[in-house]
Structure 1
């Protein structure tokens, strides 16, 4: 097989197939490659499920016995769950199979079921939502009980009960002894929940909620009728937001009637300049009803048009802000007044002008401190005294996110709470620190900055709150070891570190190209892949590493001679990384054409293995070009606010200069390609640099002025938000600084263009208007320069139809082959060059 594959690759390299010739032969080569991922593992690490997939239809699942290396294919199943060390549940839309991996024997249950293990009693709950059928089975797959006409159920893990609604019956089954108790309720129950020794069930109607409570101790059922407040309606569409806290406070969403009862002309859309663009959308409000006092703890403000509610803990403290107050909508991370409510709405406190995005703030109830990020550092606001204090030591830096050159106005990472302490863990670009909110003392936990080693704290879903109302903030227990992923920002090596906080001890594990760390009972799995390095699975147990699986072990020899090098380059704007990829069978004594793929920071694309294929949605697959005799450069470009053109061009050219010193680049045959924002950057490159012989720009922005003063269907906000304070990084208003917008727009430099350009767009693109690419094309045409515009009639910001995907990929390949390799032009290029 290898001989055949390599002969075919040689044929492709020599002849450069085109779509009309032998694309099937190309696909025959490429479909042999695939990507592998770890999908599940047994608790003891003995067995793993691997998925092998590619764009040519391969989607196979494999069971691997890690101990003996034996593997077996798992057939037509796509969902897997280990019920214990030896029992595997496999599912698809038609069947559930319970398999004993020791004996190979299995039991099957026909149907498409949701699965929830009841681990305390070694049983499994199966629910078919379409058939409304609830099943209880043993972990071996023996059906113990079956019930029809079940509308809703819940597994109560605290009491090991299965609770469900069928008609007028609320049934509680104890899974230990299988005894049941039935309570009569009205039909139409849409929600049930359990908390401690109580079960709650609700029939939700627009004007009222009938709430039932079962006391498991006394086995008594009681009911309450909760009428909705004037001007509001309850809803059945958001049942995941119904919640009872502390067996007293019933929390649920409400809608403003006036938002639901709008009687407007469907043929007319009216927009107001003094209103938020979402002002007509029915945002839900918050209601909190006290079940013991039978009165409202909190009633929402009817004047809030677009309210957002975030609970800050499980003790009834929450914030409210109204997005309708943001009228201009120019900010990415908005600044609004936050109203902080205590004890389920008992009293409140206004925090003026704070960033609203999650991760920018937290609340410590014990010390009465509202901690927030002020764009550069963390600040504590004491609501009792009104005093504000900077929490971070003066000699520390790097607390702000680098996204969009700092315009995200957010911290580098979200803060993490410390269990049972008034303390938080926060990080900068490299390291983590613990801040004691009582003493204001800061302790550094990791030491990575000097070695350019970035730490990332690994959290599981158990570290996050379960409530849909709570801010998504992790919590850690310092009595347990902390696991970090480490990443070297210079070499792109990654690894694992274990920190024992109480002993101030850090243990480092092997560095490599690791992407995942998955723990099991006595060790953990490390998965790795990288550019030109397919998936590898390694175990770490009892201090020893062992590679237990390698994907494409034979096929990866096809990449021999190809290399990936990470290097740094310097400009007046700073130091950045770039990834240089050399083609297969690279010979330093030969000159190679080079393609530079740009989109902000693309060097991180080498952090995963990419299979070669020619139906990628964006039209460019760098592995395909490495296998066809090209060098590929993926630079991290540099940006100065409101000076994008000059900073991009300087960094782009410097990265190319550095690449030429490292590899045998044919400097007369360099092309550039970019998609979306990369298309915008490609437009700047082709109109302001002489480094390129040709370029390809997809779904580009060419005119910042018209782009800023328009609105895409992709987001509800005006485009000037994205131009001023997001990716375009202009950091100012087009009406005040229109000259800067002209200077940083490719269209106003199009007169400088001297090389042929391939442009493509989707006419149904709701993100970037197709008019932007067409405008750039018309500017080239007006000067009698050379360009081809591809307009895919039924495509959007990416190309999704398979035939169009192949068409775009092949056309871009043919374009580069003609201009950078001097090959014969494809038929569709000929009209341009005749």
Structure 2
């Protein structure tokens, strides 16, 4: 407003608005005007992920990417109203020789009645008459990534297209939280989704794995103390003891960790001295004697977000209790693996771990004899 100076928008100009359907995660674009004297006009809506368009300098043409779980983000061009569309690159042709997967959005309810969504990815040669091993990946809410293309890659967490291509079904459920008991909230959201899929008949109920990193790693560490539904689990950089973690710092920044437990992601809602039992009840280490699930832990000695003594505390508890547990530390690595050689190494070992417990593959030597320090 004011006098039409720089930075103002002409009410008569046409605006290009990006739209996302919150129910289906379809994406597209609308035309509208600031003055709002008419409804926005739909230009395009697709069950795809559509990148922000770039306009040609001297023509009424857009260039943008379009992608889905099974569609590489190749380049497209078209008119500025998204008509006369044409694909001008074909990098995705490389996918043709691989067994890929198909992603779908599923609705379900938590055990206390909250409506939730999740992403279910099946192999493209899926046969509903078969029973598949199920890999569950968690963090918080994930369904907005339904149409994201993910190239197979080594790293800290599972590569969804790689696991699907190798005979797994992958489930990524949303998790929603109240204040006070985040581990319990995770159980309320994760277990009903799994039970829904088991009832549909194509999941082997004895071959269910779960994987997550950081906050996902914490939730998994807690859940395996409360349920035996998982045949194997991997927890990356997990907090296992909220009491000792509460009094620590983030080594990379020096920031105290107390705020995280009282007010942000850990969601306990009060200090250690106000609700001491809440800190104990939410800490996996105090329930470790209940664990019956083989557990793989990744925690690196230069982790600046979650001090790696959290992983040490947990693996020492598992060893003292004669539980099946393994821990990997890649010297000099941070919260997530950065060096390609380590990403590849851990990706292979995590796959061996899950293939053994979920698909009956032979036990790898490192699970029997460990890895000597001089061979790292």
TM-score normalised by the chain length of structure 1? 0.42
Q: Deviations over 1:738-792 (max 9, x none)?
A: 1111111111221110011111111111111111011111111111111011111
Q: Deviations over 1:433-483 (max 9, x none)?
A: xxxxxxxxxxxxxxxxxxxxxxxxxxxxx96xxxxxxxxxxx644332222
Partner of 1:752: 290
Is contact 2:100–2:164 with CA below 8 Å preserved after alignment?
no
The separation in 1 between residues aligned to 2:302 and 2:29, in whole angstroms, is 45
Partner of 1:84: none
Cα 1:497–1:542, aligned 2, differ >3 Å: closer, same or farther? Answer: closer
The separation in 2 between residues aligned to 1:558 and 1:589, in whole angstroms, is 25
Cα 1:737–1:510, aligned 2, differ >3 Å: closer, same or farther? Answer: same
1:607 counterpart = 2:142:
no
The separation in 1 between residues aligned to 2:172 and 2:39, in whole angstroms, is 38
Is contact 1:754–1:785 with CA below 8 Å preserved after alignment?
yes
Partner of 2:330: 792
Partner of 2:90: 551
The separation in 1 between residues aligned to 2:29 and 2:249, in whole angstroms, is 44
Q: Deviations over 1:708-736 (max 9, x none)?
A: 11111233431011111111111211111
Partner of 2:314: 776
Cα 1:760–1:547, aligned 2, differ >3 Å: closer, same or farther? Answer: same
Is contact 2:69–2:147 with CA below 8 Å preserved after alignment?
yes
Partner of 1:570: 109
The separation in 1 between residues aligned to 2:233 and 2:80, in whole angstroms, is 53
Cα 1:701–1:546, aligned 2, differ >3 Å: closer, same or farther? Answer: same
Once the two structures are TM-superposed, the CA of residue 580 in structure 1 deviates from its matched residue by 0.4
Indicate the SS of the match to 1:668.
strand
Indicate the SS of the match to 2:365.
coil
Q: Which has the larger radius of gyration?
A: 1
The separation in 1 between residues aligned to 2:359 and 2:307, in whole angstroms, is 33
Indicate the SS of the match to 1:554.
helix
Q: Tell me which of the two structures has the higher relative contact order, counting C-alpha pairs closer than 8 angstroms and 6 or more residues apart.
A: 2
Cα 1:715–1:627, aligned 2, differ >3 Å: closer, same or farther? Answer: same
TM-score normalised by the chain length of structure 2? 0.90
Equivalent positions of 1:388-467 (< 5 A) are: 419-420=1-2
Partner of 1:506: 40
Q: Deviations over 1:336-370 (max 9, x none)?
A: xxxxxxxxxxxxxxxxxxxxxxxxxxxxxxxxxxx
Cα 1:830–1:738, aligned 2, differ >3 Å: closer, same or farther? Answer: same
Is contact 1:697–1:758 with CA below 8 Å preserved after alignment?
yes
Unaligned segments of structure 1, at least 5 residues: 1-418, 422-461, 464-474
Equivalent positions of 1:99-178 (< 5 A) are: none
Indicate the SS of the match to 2:221.
helix
Q: Deviations over 1:261-309 (max 9, x none)?
A: xxxxxxxxxxxxxxxxxxxxxxxxxxxxxxxxxxxxxxxxxxxxxxxxx
Indicate the SS of the match to 2:355.
helix
Cα 1:666–1:552, aligned 2, differ >3 Å: closer, same or farther? Answer: farther
Cα 1:739–1:678, aligned 2, differ >3 Å: closer, same or farther? Answer: same
Is contact 2:20–2:27 with CA below 8 Å preserved after alignment?
yes
Cα 1:689–1:645, aligned 2, differ >3 Å: closer, same or farther? Answer: same
1:701 counterpart = 2:244:
no
Question: Please, which moves more after superposition, 813-822 or 687-696?
Answer: 687-696
Indicate the SS of the match to 1:600.
coil
1:646 counterpart = 2:180:
no
Equivalent positions of 1:58-77 (< 5 A) are: none
Match of 1:481 among 8, 14, 32: 14
Once the two structures are TM-superposed, the CA of residue 561 in structure 1 deviates from its matched residue by 6.8
Indicate the SS of the match to 1:695.
strand
Q: Deviations over 1:619-642 (max 9, x none)?
A: 421111011111111111121111
The separation in 2 between residues aligned to 1:775 and 1:824, in whole angstroms, is 29
Unaligned segments of structure 2, at least 5 residues: 371-376
- Considering fraction of residues, name the structure with more strand: 1
The separation in 1 between residues aligned to 2:54 and 2:200, in whole angstroms, is 37
Cα 1:708–1:476, aligned 2, differ >3 Å: closer, same or farther? Answer: farther
- Considering fraction of residues, name the structure with more helix: 2
Partner of 1:679: 217
Indicate the SS of the match to 2:134.
strand
Indicate the SS of the match to 2:178.
coil
Indicate the SS of the match to 2:72.
strand
The separation in 2 between residues aligned to 1:687 and 1:622, in whole angstroms, is 26
Indicate the SS of the match to 2:235.
strand
Equivalent positions of 1:43-442 (< 5 A) are: 419-420=1-2
Q: How many residues align?
A: 362
Once the two structures are TM-superposed, the CA of residue 536 in structure 1 deviates from its matched residue by 3.2
Once the two structures are TM-superposed, the CA of residue 690 in structure 1 deviates from its matched residue by 2.2
1:628 counterpart = 2:166:
yes
The separation in 1 between residues aligned to 2:39 and 2:128, in whole angstroms, is 46
Partner of 1:148: none
Once the two structures are TM-superposed, the CA of residue 815 in structure 1 deviates from its matched residue by 0.3
Is contact 2:60–2:79 with CA below 8 Å preserved after alignment?
yes
Partner of 2:374: none
